[in-house]
Amino acid sequence: MVGSVDFDETRTAYITARMPGRLDRLFVDYTGVQVKKGDHMASIYSPELLSAQQELLQAIDSVKALTNSESSIVRDVSQSTVDAVREKLRLWGLTPEQIQQIETRGTPMDHVTLYSPVGGIVIHKNAQEGSYVKTGDRIYTVADLSHVWVQIEAYESDLPWLRYGQKVSFTTEAWPGETFKGKIAFIDPVLNAATRTVNVRVNVDNPELQMKPGMFVSAVAYPLISEDGKVANPSLAGKWICPMHPEVVKDAPGTCDICGMKLVTAEELGYVTPTPTNAPLVIPATAPLITGTRAVVYVEVPDQDKPTYEGREIVLGPKAGNVYIVHSGLKEGERVVTQGAFKLDAELQIHAKPSMMSPEGGSALMDHGKMKMEP
Ligand SMILES: [Zn+2]
């Protein structure tokens, strides 16, 4: 399957203005810059922030002035004002160190530095130096690329093989010879009508940042198939999973790290099927001749003087890479024609013997003519 690297949406953060003001300096002034949690991002001038600082300093002064006051109630009121303003500043994104600095200096600062609450790559700069921002306006978008998504475009014919939790390995053009691994974390319930594909999301650890969003990948899934041709998924047996975040898998009951929801068993979510005891029967994909409704293979008849083959109608399961799963009609060990089966079939039609096109045999001329009309 083919796909591409994408940002992990759950690890993309916006740095927003928490108070209205003017951005007088953007320390990160182009996209692509890598930032660590706590790095300075922008310097903002905000009248609201200025007055909040004044309010804080006044409240501190009055607490000091009331230290020897007989009225503890008045003192408590002033103290709670101090606490409330500190909290307001904290919610505006000021660090405890910045608040301490204001209190120590005793005078408000005109500009306050905003720090990054997360680490990652700045993938979008939403504001310009000198622009005014309102509360909630985005200043930067930061993406943590230590973990990325690989979005695979799976064809309808790939779908029978894909299950949640399966391992997928893939290669990229940028790192030839290197194979990366991930796990299927989401299979889109809706088919993309334009491309006739289904989006399959694979979660990938990217500690060395080798995967870059936008890169193309070539991916392979390795489903475990049981004897009856069904995909088995025993790896999650006995595990506990968040119904909303299936990537959260634990060994014991508990709650989801992401949303706090109660975990349920993988069995309950239908993710587990038992380990198969026997592998399914498969034949090379070049062996069967397939019309819309029927599949015929030519099987070697053993112990004959001359090589002899007989046509046989079989029931196939889905195709997996270079093989087809056989539901019925063949036994393990039987030899099938893998090259030239079509020639053999055409020859039989010429001789009016049963063939793929005419299972009951028939007029040699008729069938011969029909063959010629085939592309
Ligand atoms: Zn969850």
pLDDT (mean) for 7-21? 88
What are the structure tokens assigned to 183, written together?
């796990």
pLDDT value at residue 363: 47
Residue 276: pLDDT band with limits 50, 70, 90: low
pLDDT (mean) for 290-307? 87
CATH superfamily of 147-265: Efflux pump adaptor protein, beta barrel domain (2.40.30.170)
Q: Name the helix (H) or strand (E) containing 346.
A: helix 341-350
Residue 68 pLDDT greater than 80, yes or no:
no
101 in helix, strand or coil? helix
pLDDT value at residue 369: 34
How remote is the CA of residue 340 from the centroid of ligand 1, in Å? 54
How remote is the CA of residue 190 from the centroid of ligand 1, in Å? 22
pLDDT tens profile 91-138: 888 888 889 998 998 888 888 888 888 888 999 998 888 999 999 899
How remote is the CA of residue 255 from the centroid of ligand 1, in Å? 8
pLDDT (mean) for 250-260? 90
How remote is the CA of residue 80 from the centroid of ligand 1, in Å? 37
How remote is the CA of residue 234 from the centroid of ligand 1, in Å? 22
End-to-end alpha carbon distance in the chain: 29
How remote is the CA of residue 6 from the centroid of ligand 1, in Å? 21
CA dihedral 252, 257, 260, 262 (to 10 degrees): -20
pLDDT value at residue 362: 54
pLDDT tens profile 321-361: 788 989 899 999 999 999 888 888 888 777 777 676 666 66
CATH topology of domain 18-143: OB fold (Dihydrolipoamide Acetyltransferase, E2P) (2.40.50)
List the chain domain ranges: 18-143, 147-265, 282-373
Verdict on whether the full-model pTM lies above 0.85: no
CATH topology of domain 282-373: 2.40.420
pLDDT tens profile 229-239: 667 777 778 88
How remote is the CA of residue 200 from the centroid of ligand 1, in Å? 19
Residue 372 pLDDT greater than 50, yes or no:
no
Residue 67: pLDDT band with limits 50, 70, 90: confident
How remote is the CA of residue 247 from the centroid of ligand 1, in Å? 9
Same fold flag, 18-143 and 147-265:
no
Beta strands across the sheet bearing 120-125 = 12-16, 138-143, 120-125, 34-35
How remote is the CA of residue 186 from the centroid of ligand 1, in Å? 13
